[in-house]
Amino acid sequence: MDEKKEFTPSIIYGLCSWCGTGGSETAGAMHLQYAENIRPFRVPCTGAIDPVYILRALIEGADGFAVSGCHPGDCHFDSGNYRARRRTAVLKSLLDTFGLDSERVWLRWVGHGEGKRFADTVNEFNDHIKEMGGNPLAKRRDT
């Protein structure tokens, strides 16, 4: 039995209230299938997701953390998504510096009507994390 295929990652998914959530609702309205093991949460804007939350989730055992919100130029708070992009880049660089897996964090824009893009993002990220395997920080914590 392939252990990686049986592995069900724990994935946290932050969605902005506007486009990110809208994309997930459109995916639902289109009856698109996507991995069930994501734990979505909603924030007013991706710019409100503090990188400390992401780091904490990884330390607490999440296998992956994805963020989706409005495309550049479409943020309902003007530039929150640009802030999210800058913060995510800094966080990923820090994770790399400390030898952690920066690829456990994804940021991908999803528009309100982009249900397929939302479902594809969930499935691609889930497959990607499955390929990476479980979060070594979580394993270390549990021993």
Residues that bind ligand FES (CB under 6 A): 16, 18-19, 45-47, 69-70, 75-77, 80-81
Closer residue to ligand FES in complex, CB, 10/46: 46
**DSSP-assigned letter for residue 31:** T
Residue 112 Cβ, how far from ligand FES at the closest point, in Å?
A: 9
Closer residue to ligand FES in complex, CB, 83/128: 83
Sheet of strand 105-107, all strands in order from the earlier edge strand to the far edge: 38-43, 11-16, 64-68, 105-107
Closer residue to ligand FES in complex, CB, 76/128: 76
Q: Identify the residue whose tokens are 């499955």.
A: 130
Estimate to the nearest angstrom the gap between the alpha carbon of 55 and the chain centroid: 12
Helix axes 80-97, 51-59, angle to 10 degrees: 40
Closer residue to ligand FES in complex, CB, 43/137: 43
CA angle at 109 for the pair 115 and 63, rounded to the nearest 5°: 90
**Nearest residue relative to ligand FES (C-beta):** 69
Residue 24 Cβ, how far from ligand FES at the closest point, in Å?
A: 13
Residue 15 Cβ, how far from ligand FES at the closest point, in Å?
A: 9
Tokens read off for 68: 């989706």
Residue 67 Cβ, how far from ligand FES at the closest point, in Å?
A: 9
Total H helices, total E strands in the chain: 6, 4
Closer residue to ligand FES in complex, CB, 112/130: 112
Residue 92 Cβ, how far from ligand FES at the closest point, in Å?
A: 18
